[in-house]
Structure 1
Amino acid sequence: MSQQQEEEKEEEEVGKLAIRLANVVILPMVLKSAIELNIIDIICAAGDGKFLSPSEIAASLPTKNPNASVLLDRMLRLLTSHSILKCSVRTGQDGKVERLYGAGALCKFLVKDQYGGVGSVGPLLLLHHDKVFMESWCHFNDAVLEGGIPFNRAYGMTAFEYPETDERFNRVFNQAMSNHTTLILKKIFDVYKGFEGLHVLVDVGGGIGVTLNLITTKYPHIKGINFDLPHVLADAPSYPGVEHVGGDMFVSVPQGDAIFMKWILHDWSDEHCLTLLKNCCKALPSSGKVIIVESILPDIPDSSVTSNIVCEQDLLMLTKIGSKGFIFARRKEPAFTVMASDFAFKVPAELESALRLNTVQYYITKRPWLDLYGINVRPVAPVGSTSRKVHVDPALLHRTLPDELLYEVFARMSPYDLGRAACVCRKWRYTIRNPVFWRIACLKAWQLSGVVENYKILQAKYDTSWRKMWLLRPRIRTDGLYVSRNTYIRTGIAEWKITNPVHLVCYYRYMRFFPSGRFLYKNSSQKLKDVAKFMNFRSAKADSVFSGHYTFSDDKVEAAVLYPGMRPTVLRIRLRLRGTTVGANNRMDLLSLVTSGVNDNEVCGPDEDILGVVEGWQDDETHNPDVPAVSHKRGLTPFVFVPFEEIATSFLNLPVEKMDYFVPG
């Protein structure tokens, strides 16, 4: 073969590689489906050297799809082309050739342990290709150009906060971590004997406790303390010899003979890592040690599988938590030697090649001057001075109520109660700034927009601050009634004894909105405190409370309500939301009020979404000649919001003798 032919062949191979990269997403997505459908488990359960046809595999699936075997054959053919499965053919009695599939060498890493696996990476694949993680990749370009963390840009919270809001994803995450831990520890046990001689081992960031369960099973004399965030431990099962302890590792770490951390430090900045290692040092005796399992990024990447894996994991960490990634071993010299002595354990080559990570053991040496780091020394006050006395919180409530319980109390408050609580004292003012409180309130207030759309708006307009979004984004309030008080003068009559030349007439329009997109409407001369009790969906017909639907966009409200009867009439309302102060949203201006007729065949009942029926109608449009369209010009006083707790005392209850005209402001 000539040199030109060799170059052409090499260029052809490069072109094929480019096409393969363009199609790279197909393999993991097909493999994800194969794992979720238990196809790999079904093939492996048949036994070594056994082959199954697509129709036999389909028979084991909960499906009635007649084309399932055809779809499975196409999936399995792709997996075979990547050496995940093996394939053979057989010829039937009708002469038709059928493909058969068996387990390849990779399958033992993709199945559950009951089939003889050595620890599964299947759940890890499901996690990396879960819709929650995939969404963050869509924000990667924006993060490069504008800064920020892709996951935070997608969801408005960190990857550590999100599992607390999504139980399904929390289970996916915990399952992936526990299975991956099983795979890693089985290799570590073969070459590392540093757990021998320990009595108490603390696993910092231990998830649901799988790591310590494996360690204490192999070394029954060890008492394990599994330390993680409380919401992570909520799903943790009980294990013999393992105690689950909730807390924050940046505040303190439980005491033990040794501290174990697997894939923890790569999640955090150098400053966070130093804080964590200092806490570990305080929790250990003089003979204690810290055992750290981390991956290592190569200085110069190559095309080996090991280099591929750690570089891919580095980008995974970048998109999810924005950390510096798997660079622990490259930064130990300048930074972490402050915390530990020289490395006492050399990593065997077979362990590094098998796990694509390095294990480092620190032997902690007590250095008294470390206790002085980060401490600001104050001048000693004179004896008897008030500044020399120990500070005690003067509030009895703060001294007796733990911060955790105070948090639980605030979590059950409405946003407006939180605002009132912020006026009590400085401690409460700063406590209620916790974004968790405001995230719950925002997602409930704008539930019609959907969770994903709310997170996008949060990122684009409100700098990922839920509290800022609550204050600045227009919001229809649902914790009370909007009231429009209207008055007009009517000519009186002369009687024998009394002559009233005019009467001052007062009537009200009431609207109560619900987050679901429905609202209640009532037109009455009754005072606010008398009407409020009827403004619900259980009210009787005699109360003349009508239900309708509304839409809300920016600060505009479109609403419609149907008056049933012999001649059905629809009331169309257009309003503009505003507030007298930032975040109040306590005024609605009536832009238009139109009544029109509708045909009987256009509506099925009072609960139908009449707003969808009249969408696109003109102001002068009616669908019933007996009920002309009327655009009302009177009774358009702006609505004023009255919270439920202020209904009985509101000044809108005053009679016309005491308040003849009300200025909404």
Structure 2
Amino acid sequence: MASNNGRNTSEIFEGQTLLYRHMFAFVDSMSLKWMVELGIPDIIHNHAQPITLKELVSTLQIPPSKIYHVQSLMLYLAHNGFFERVTIHDNTEGKEAYALTSASELLVKGRELCLAPFLKYCLHPTSVAPFNQIEKWIYKEDLTIIDMSLGCNYWDFLTKNPAHNKGFNEAMASDSQMMNLVLRDCNWVFQGLESVVDVGGGTGITSRIICEAFPNLRCIVLELPHVVENLQGSNNLTYVGGDMFKSIPTADAVLLKSTLHNWDDNDCIKILKNCKEAISSKGKVIIIDVVINEKLDEHEVTGLKRLLNVVMACSLNAKERSEQEWKKLIMQAGFESYKIFPLTGYLSLIEIYP
């Protein structure tokens, strides 16, 4: 039976399900935040085996009136892939328990790969609240939702708020630790190089990983002076305070990890031109960033890339780019050629040559 809008009843209810799912999607993020704030991944990890609800609420000292609510959150997080529901046997009795998954293992504090700082920063009220301004933002020339909500651009806000800047650097550092996995599969990228400049390299986590993998490679981290002023280098790692829009230290290669997606096309061209001046005719620029490719990517991966594109657009008037958009930037900056390689679940590696 068709309704007055031409769709059958089944289609209408499918639409309602999709609509409600996204209307309440903020609960997904807040459930993750709750899980990390209570340290549940750490509790399960330290328990050394799957944990029952009774054991979990006892560890957390949850009031009896809230035990059901903890259960509802755990069941929902398990449904979304953050816990695995398993059966453990105590004598002859089987009990349901929760085990970590590959996703929640990344939230266990103190491990080499831990994205908890990144999650906490992204879900901080200061990071989330500006997105209530999207309706107004779309009509404002040049302004970002950060400009509208906080009264200044994102980078100025970090400079003016040391505590928030510290959280940002910790978040970026935790994300950069994932490079450990990447280097195992693409160490060929740095072979034959004597020096590399990590532009916008934050506190240098990525460069430290590269230095450990290639002890004979000299790494230079270029960052804003207030970011690197108290950081200590090593035999093959140096920190330089500067501005990538003005100049970049000379080296065999320049690394831009998740940097260019923070800037609009005009700014990216300026940065890339400075990169070209910093390397020799036999050098290269190494970009690690998102490349949107709906034809090749799985639906979920494209969804993540499109989501990140919205975040960058709203927050920084920047964007994630397709191969054609990357090609346009590269050629306008004066480079001759490029190659794109798959890197991680959602990041690609782009090598560009002068």
* TM-score with structure 1 setting the length: 0.48
Q: Deviations over 1:504-546 (max 9, x none)?
A: xxxxxxxxxxxxxxxxxxxxxxxxxxxxxxxxxxxxxxxxxxx
Answer yes or no: is the 8 Å Cα contact 2:106–2:115 preserved in 1: yes
1:56 is the counterpart of 2:55: yes
Answer yes or no: is the 8 Å Cα contact 1:296–1:330 preserved in 2: no
Moved more, 214-223 or 67-76: 67-76
**Larger radius of gyration between Structure 1 and Structure 2:** 1
Task: Give how far 1:55 is off.
Answer: 4.1
Answer yes or no: is the 8 Å Cα contact 1:203–1:261 preserved in 2: yes
Using a 3 Å threshold, how does the CA distance of structure 1 residues 224 and 302 change in structure 2: closer, same or farther?
Answer: closer
| 1:227 aligned partner | 222
Using a 3 Å threshold, how does the CA distance of structure 1 residues 328 and 334 change in structure 2: closer, same or farther?
Answer: same
- CA RMSD between the two structures: 3.1
Answer yes or no: is the 8 Å Cα contact 2:200–2:223 preserved in 1: yes
| 1:19 aligned partner | 20
| 1:287 aligned partner | 282
Task: Give how far 1:232 is off.
Answer: 1.9
Task: Give how far 1:142 is off.
Answer: 0.6
| 2:4 aligned partner | none
| 2:100 aligned partner | 103
**One-letter code aligned to 2:42:** D
Q: Equivalent of 2:162, from 150, 159, 167?
A: 167
Alignment partners' CA distance in 2, 1:140 and 1:307: 22
Alignment partners' CA distance in 2, 1:121 and 1:60: 23
Larger helix percent: 2
| 2:351 aligned partner | 361
Q: Give secondary structure in 1 for the equivalent of 2:349.
A: strand
Task: Give how far 1:193 is off.
Answer: 0.7
1:124 is the counterpart of 2:118: yes
Alignment partners' CA distance in 2, 1:272 and 1:139: 25
Answer yes or no: is the 8 Å Cα contact 1:54–1:70 preserved in 2: no
Answer yes or no: is the 8 Å Cα contact 1:121–1:179 preserved in 2: yes
What does 1:42-53 align with in structure 2 at a 5 Å threshold? 42-47=43-48, 50-53=49-52
1:145 is the counterpart of 2:142: no
Task: Give how far 1:331 is off.
Answer: 2.5
Alignment partners' CA distance in 1, 2:62 and 2:232: 36
1:217 is the counterpart of 2:227: no
Using a 3 Å threshold, how does the CA distance of structure 1 residues 239 and 14 change in structure 2: closer, same or farther?
Answer: farther
| 1:37 aligned partner | 38
| 2:330 aligned partner | 336
Answer yes or no: is the 8 Å Cα contact 1:301–1:307 preserved in 2: no
Q: Deviations over 1:430-480 (max 9, x none)?
A: xxxxxxxxxxxxxxxxxxxxxxxxxxxxxxxxxxxxxxxxxxxxxxxxxxx
| 1:79 aligned partner | 77
Task: Give how far 1:282 is off.
Answer: 1.9
Task: Give how far 1:295 is off.
Answer: 0.7
Using a 3 Å threshold, how does the CA distance of structure 1 residues 153 and 111 change in structure 2: closer, same or farther?
Answer: same
Task: Give how far 1:314 is off.
Answer: 0.7
Q: Equivalent of 1:187, from 160, 168, 182?
A: 182
Alignment partners' CA distance in 1, 2:251 and 2:65: 58
Using a 3 Å threshold, how does the CA distance of structure 1 residues 235 and 189 change in structure 2: closer, same or farther?
Answer: farther
| 2:307 aligned partner | 312
Answer yes or no: is the 8 Å Cα contact 1:199–1:222 preserved in 2: yes
Task: Give how far 1:180 is off.
Answer: 1.3
Answer yes or no: is the 8 Å Cα contact 1:149–1:322 preserved in 2: yes
Q: Give secondary structure in 2 for the equivalent of 1:359.
A: strand
Task: Give how far 1:189 is off.
Answer: 3.7
Task: Give how far 1:302 is off.
Answer: 8.7
Alignment partners' CA distance in 1, 2:22 and 2:55: 33
Using a 3 Å threshold, how does the CA distance of structure 1 residues 245 and 66 change in structure 2: closer, same or farther?
Answer: farther
Alignment partners' CA distance in 1, 2:116 and 2:219: 27
Answer yes or no: is the 8 Å Cα contact 2:197–2:219 preserved in 1: yes
Please, which runs of 5 or more residues in structure 1 have no aligned partner? 1-6, 365-665
Alignment partners' CA distance in 2, 1:262 and 1:232: 17
Q: Deviations over 1:54-82 (max 9, x none)?
A: 34334545x68565655433321221121
Using a 3 Å threshold, how does the CA distance of structure 1 residues 113 and 91 change in structure 2: closer, same or farther?
Answer: closer
**One-letter code aligned to 1:54:** L
Answer yes or no: is the 8 Å Cα contact 1:181–1:210 preserved in 2: yes
Answer yes or no: is the 8 Å Cα contact 1:206–1:228 preserved in 2: yes
Question: Percent identity, aligned pairs only?
Answer: 24
Alignment partners' CA distance in 2, 1:295 and 1:28: 22
| 1:278 aligned partner | 273
Answer yes or no: is the 8 Å Cα contact 2:197–2:220 preserved in 1: yes
Answer yes or no: is the 8 Å Cα contact 1:266–1:294 preserved in 2: yes
Count how many residue pairs are aligned between Structure 1 and Structure 2: 346
Please, which runs of 5 or more residues in structure 2 have no aligned partner? 1-7
Answer yes or no: is the 8 Å Cα contact 2:268–2:329 preserved in 1: no
Q: Give secondary structure in 2 for the equivalent of 1:333.
A: helix
**One-letter code aligned to 2:103:** L
Q: Deviations over 1:355-399 (max 9, x none)?
A: 3122111222xxxxxxxxxxxxxxxxxxxxxxxxxxxxxxxxxxx
Alignment partners' CA distance in 2, 1:98 and 1:346: 49
Alignment partners' CA distance in 2, 1:339 and 1:192: 27
**One-letter code aligned to 2:345:** L
| 1:518 aligned partner | none
Answer yes or no: is the 8 Å Cα contact 1:184–1:355 preserved in 2: no
Using a 3 Å threshold, how does the CA distance of structure 1 residues 224 and 267 change in structure 2: closer, same or farther?
Answer: same
Q: Equivalent of 2:320, from 322, 326, 332?
A: 326
Using a 3 Å threshold, how does the CA distance of structure 1 residues 135 and 247 change in structure 2: closer, same or farther?
Answer: same
Q: Give secondary structure in 2 for the equivalent of 1:146.
A: coil
Higher relative contact order (CA 8 A, sep 6+): 2
What does 1:405-424 align with in structure 2 at a 5 Å threshold? none
Using a 3 Å threshold, how does the CA distance of structure 1 residues 230 and 328 change in structure 2: closer, same or farther?
Answer: farther
Using a 3 Å threshold, how does the CA distance of structure 1 residues 194 and 314 change in structure 2: closer, same or farther?
Answer: same
Answer yes or no: is the 8 Å Cα contact 1:294–1:328 preserved in 2: no
Answer yes or no: is the 8 Å Cα contact 2:179–2:206 preserved in 1: no
Q: Deviations over 1:170-215 (max 9, x none)?
A: 2221122112122245225403512012111110000000010010
Answer yes or no: is the 8 Å Cα contact 1:187–1:355 preserved in 2: no
What does 1:415-494 align with in structure 2 at a 5 Å threshold? none
Answer yes or no: is the 8 Å Cα contact 1:257–1:288 preserved in 2: yes
Alignment partners' CA distance in 2, 1:236 and 1:70: 47
Task: Give how far 1:138 is off.
Answer: 1.6
Q: Deviations over 1:88-129 (max 9, x none)?
A: 467999x9x964211123223333462xx6x33333322221
Task: Give how far 1:248 is off.
Answer: 0.8
Task: Give how far 1:39 is off.
Answer: 0.8
Using a 3 Å threshold, how does the CA distance of structure 1 residues 64 and 357 change in structure 2: closer, same or farther?
Answer: closer
Alignment partners' CA distance in 2, 1:214 and 1:113: 17
